[in-house]
A = this chain, B = another copy of it.
């Protein structure tokens, strides 16, 4: 492994997780801590990160050139994002919802994947600029500040043009009886519309949403084809949602739908 690769890895870890622990990385990469520390020292000297006891943190903590741009990337969300990204195959037309988990998905798409991504989040769109192979379509409309997605009648109308192969949708509530819910009415409408148009619908769900119910219905379980969860949460997900007819996809499994 090249020194440059390690440094890139360290920086992206920092970006994804907000901090880096030298010991963990050394174990992960199978290298001595000394080597990692040396890398960290050099990166710190170049002003790419800030060295702290035990590891490193971003140079300007919580500084946001863009406000609330990425949000907190918990390891669980990263894991879900990776897993979901792996489901997308060349040639697919994919709808990507907004939200921090979807960002992780975008970030972990293969760099040269040849596919089309439709999104109503400028955030996601910016994230995908790096991916040369992708065609990116933005669904316009009024921008919701809080969630960084467009919504409203115009957005819904515009969505009518698309028939994605698969859509990845975030939600704030997943309940066996109450279905999939979210906390914002306008957002819920968009999600509903997308799911209706898509060949298959996959929910990105971190475990804190399990069993929760928010105010606005996004979908019933019968309309959902897949649920991407972190491996650690897969048992709980199976218990709660296993009998509802949607496939539960956690990171240890392979294969995709459709």
| A residues lining the B interface (CB < 8 Å) | 2-5, 8, 11-12, 15-16, 18-19, 21, 52-55, 57, 61-70, 111-112, 120, 122-123, 125-130, 132, 135-143, 145, 148, 150, 154, 158, 161
In angstroms, Cα B137 to Cα A142, docked, is 4
Please tell me if the beta carbons of B130 and A136 are within 8 angstroms of each other in the complex. Answer: no
Please indicate the chain B residues that have their CB under 8 angstroms from the CB of A130 in the complex: 62-64, 67
Known: A8-B63, A55-B2, A138-B138. A125 touches B111 (CB 8 A): no
Closest chain B residue, CB of each to CB of A128: B143
In angstroms, Cα B122 to Cα A5, docked, is 30
Please indicate the chain B residues that have their CB under 8 angstroms from the CB of A135 in the complex: 142-143
Instruction: Say which residue of B65, B111, B127, B136 sits within 8 Å of A142 (CB atoms).
Output: B136
Known: A65-B67, A154-B161. A52 touches B3 (CB 8 A): yes
Please tell me if the beta carbons of B143 and A138 are within 8 angstroms of each other in the complex. Answer: yes
Please indicate the chain B residues that have their CB under 8 angstroms from the CB of A111 in the complex: 18, 62
The 20 listed contacts between A and B (C-beta, < 8 Å) are A2-B53, A2-B57, A4-B52, A8-B63, A15-B66, A16-B112, A18-B111, A62-B132, A63-B130, A66-B66, A66-B67, A66-B126, A67-B130, A69-B129, A122-B126, A135-B142, A135-B143, A137-B140, A154-B158, A154-B161
In angstroms, Cα B138 to Cα A62, docked, is 22
Q: How far is the CB of A135 from chain B (nearest CB, A)?
A: 7
In angstroms, Cα B18 to Cα A139, docked, is 31
